[in-house]
Structures are given as C-alpha cells and as structure tokens.
Amino acid sequence: MKLWSYADLIGLRVIYWLRQRKTTTLGRDIPRTSMPTVRRALRELRKLGTPLWQPGSEPALFVDSVGHIYLKRPEGLQTVDGQLGHEGLLDLVAPFETLEGTRGPDLVRPRPDLRIVPGKLGGSPHVVGTRTETCAIAALAKDDFSTDGIHSLYPYLTREQIEQSIDLERQLDNNLLRKAAA
C-alpha cells in the first residue's frame, strides 16, 4: 500500500532529478547535484506554505540545477521569493526518461484516461471519472485475465482504459525491477 502524499511524491522526484544526470527538454545536459542542493530544494518546497495541488488547478512545479523551486504563476515562473524563472528548468510533474531507461509518468495525467488526484483514493492512479485504481486492473491482468475478461468485470470501463491501466502499472513495475537490478 502506498502511503505517500502528493508533496512526498514531488519531494522524491526532486531528489531523484537532482541526484541523477539528466537532460532538459531542450537537450541540455545537467550533471548530478550535491546533497546540499537537494536539501535546499526540499526546504524551498516546505517554504511554499500552500498545497502543491488544489482541485481544479494544474500543478506546475519546476526545479533548476541549483535546487531553486519555481511555481507557475500568472506573472510567469517564480520562486517563493519572487525570482523569475529561466530556460532549462526541469518540470517536476511532467513525464521523464532517465539515462538508465526508466520512465517517470506524468504526476497528474499518467495516460490520457488516467489521473492521479491527491486526496482521491490516497493519490493512487485511477481511471478518470471512476474510483477504479489501475493497480486493481493490472492485478487481474497478472492473474491471466484478458482485456475482455476485465471488461466483463468492469463494464463501465473502455478497453482502452483497461489497456492504459495495465500499461502504466507495467511501466511502474519495470522501473522498480530496473532499480532493484542496479
């Protein structure tokens, strides 16, 4: 059972992104950062003082290579202290790939028909508009249920939603297996 809050997931993503070599969406290589930089970023996350996600809003959190956290505001990307953002910031919510071949999903829309909503189902990925968790669907697939068999148990889901659920859980399992083997 996952008992992490949305803030915990963002914190873990900050730690991971800053401690790994990475490439920005513009293709710029960013080296690993130091633990003091990671601690600075986590302190800045705690300083925000507002929830990282609120219903009806799109979370937009970014981090730079020195550990400053930026929020998307009407005026643009800004730190808690009002410093404006610049190019080369890493989006903490967006999907990403690592050099080791693991992929982190979007922390809001991991697939077109799937959502992660803090406070709903404990933040577990689920099919949009339902309370059906992707892990429940994937467990049936692991027990050799076909997509049609799962659809007969969950007739309100489309086959595409079932396949997206299985794909997301497979991706998350593969990430764990790759890390465990490393």
- The pLDDT tens digits of the residues spanning 8-37 come to 767 777 777 777 776 666 677 767 777 887
Using one digit for the tens of pLDDT, what is the confidence trace for 89-101?
777 777 777 666 7
With helix as H, strand as E and coil as C, how does 78-143 read?
ECCCCCECCCCCEECCCCEECCCCCEECCCCCCECCEECCCCCHHHCCEECCCCCEHHHHHHHHHC
Domain boundary assignment for the chain: 6-93, 104-181
Beta 96-97 vs 90-91: how paired, if at all?
Answer: unpaired
pLDDT range class, residue 179, cuts 50, 70, 90: low
Using one digit for the tens of pLDDT, what is the confidence trace for 123-135?
788 999 999 999 9
Nearest-CA neighbor of 37 among 9, 65, 61?
65
Map residue 60 onto helix, strand or coil.
coil
Q: What is the pTM of this model?
A: 0.67
Cα dihedral 3, 6, 9, 14 sign? negative
Residue 69: what pLDDT? 79
In this predicted structure, the answer to whether residue 156 has a pLDDT above a threshold of 50 is yes
Residue 1: what pLDDT? 44
CATH architecture of the region 104-181: Orthogonal Bundle (1.10)
In this predicted structure, the answer to whether residue 4 has a pLDDT above a threshold of 80 is no
